[in-house]
């Protein structure tokens, strides 16, 4: 950033603290004067940065105690859609804004959709990382298969648009479905969460693309029993959507053919997690759906824009109200 650009940035009353290092932190820092944006481990924030003005947390809990230890805190800015780790009522009581970054339009939804397709292909083709097996059994083509997408927000819609190129049949579920959405996305069927049995029973791939905002009934043993024995289950949004013990049981008993997970109820996974058992047809990725160059650049711009708005005395975009 040159001197002219820096002169346009208002002086912040404190620092911006990001709890995860990496490309996102670097790209946000590039848009502010030196030393304005720092990265710290979660347990060092209160000790090393009591002047925190904006906090960009990862998946760690942001509770009232942490807020009270940061008297200059004005904005808790998530770098993704989910804000379930933030005590929003406590923030509202203290006059602290809470904002997120919608997945659509930043490259995040598109990146997560790509990872969902990676899981589909890996499962369908029985791909094993680093293994060259010339006697590998016959795989499956996506062409002509039926894909059920549970959740048609930014990620679900991005996924549906990409899957049309594979010439699959698309089923979808949305909290408040509009008939025009089915036509726009090329869906053969569009239902509500109350109708998820239809999606489970007719899909060759069931993909969870819903946010954590409306988790009233996680996918459990009864749901896996409704799926085809040849079907695959994939979750790329939030681990809270899945009863992991039930999923392991379904895989062990061949109730479904396989599964792919990018998100988990506890992250990172413990070494003794049942999901790490051998002999499960289960593909795991480390919550990396949105970890791409495009997504980090788009998210960094959105985060920086909100920091500037709050520094100028304005509310942030995509404000979450308690």
**Cα angle 113-213-77, degrees, rounded to a multiple of 5:** 80
Helix H or strand E segment including 114: helix 108-124
The Cα 167–Cα 47 span in angstroms is 55
By the 8 A CB rule, do 243 and 219 touch? yes
Catalytic residue from among 238, 244, 283, 291: 238
The Cα 138–Cα 112 span in angstroms is 27
The Cα 312–Cα 247 span in angstroms is 48
267 is catalytic: yes
287 is catalytic: yes
Give one DSSP letter per residue of 250-314, joined into a string.
HHHTTSSSEEEES--SSSSPPTT-GGG-TT--EEE--S-TT-SHHHHHHHHHHHHHHHHHHHTT-
5 is catalytic: no
Catalytic residue from among 15, 119, 283, 287: 287
Catalytic residue from among 5, 222, 267, 270: 267
Nearest in space to 101 (alpha carbons), one of 41, 155, 60: 155
Residues with active-site annotation? 238, 267, 287
């Amino acid at each position: 950033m040159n001197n002219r650009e820096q002169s346009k940035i208002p002086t912040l009353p404190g620092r911006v603290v990001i709890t995860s290092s990496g490309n996102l932190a670097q790209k946000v820092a590039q848009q502010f004067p030196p030393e304005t944006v720092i990265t710290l481990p979660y347990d060092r924030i209160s000790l090393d940065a009591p002047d925190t003005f904006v906090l960009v947390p990862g998946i760690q809990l942001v509770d009232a105690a942490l807020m009270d230890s940061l008297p200059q805190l004005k904005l808790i800015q998530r770098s993704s859609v989910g804000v379930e780790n933030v005590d929003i009522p406590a923030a509202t009581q203290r006059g602290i804004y809470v904002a997120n970054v919608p997945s659509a339009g930043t490259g995040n939804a598109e990146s997560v959709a790509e990872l969902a397709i990676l899981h589909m292909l890996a499962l369908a083709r029985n791909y094993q990382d680093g293994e060259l097996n010339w006697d590998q059994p016959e795989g499956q083509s996506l062409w002509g298969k039926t894909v059920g997408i549970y959740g048609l927000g930014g990620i679900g819609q991005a996924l549906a648009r990409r899957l049309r190129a594979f010439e699959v049949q698309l089923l979808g579920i949305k909290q408040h479905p509009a008939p025009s959405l089915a036509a726009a996305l090329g869906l053969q069927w569009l239902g509500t969460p109350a109708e998820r049995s239809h999606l489970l029973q007719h899909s060759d791939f069931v993909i969870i693309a819903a946010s954590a905002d409306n988790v009233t009934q996680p996918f459990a043993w009864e749901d896996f029993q409704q799926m085809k024995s040849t079907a695959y289950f994939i979750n790329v949004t939030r681990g809270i959507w899945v009863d992991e013990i039930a999923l392991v049981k379904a895989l062990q008993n061949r109730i479904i053919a396989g599964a792919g997970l990018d998100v988990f109820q506890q992250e990172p996974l413990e070494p003794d997690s049942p999901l790490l058992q051998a002999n499960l047809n289960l593909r795991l990725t480390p919550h990396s759906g949105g970890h791409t160059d495009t997504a980090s650049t788009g998210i960094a711009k959105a985060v920086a824009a909100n920091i500037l708005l709050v520094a100028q005395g304005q509310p942030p975009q995509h404000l979450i109200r308690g």
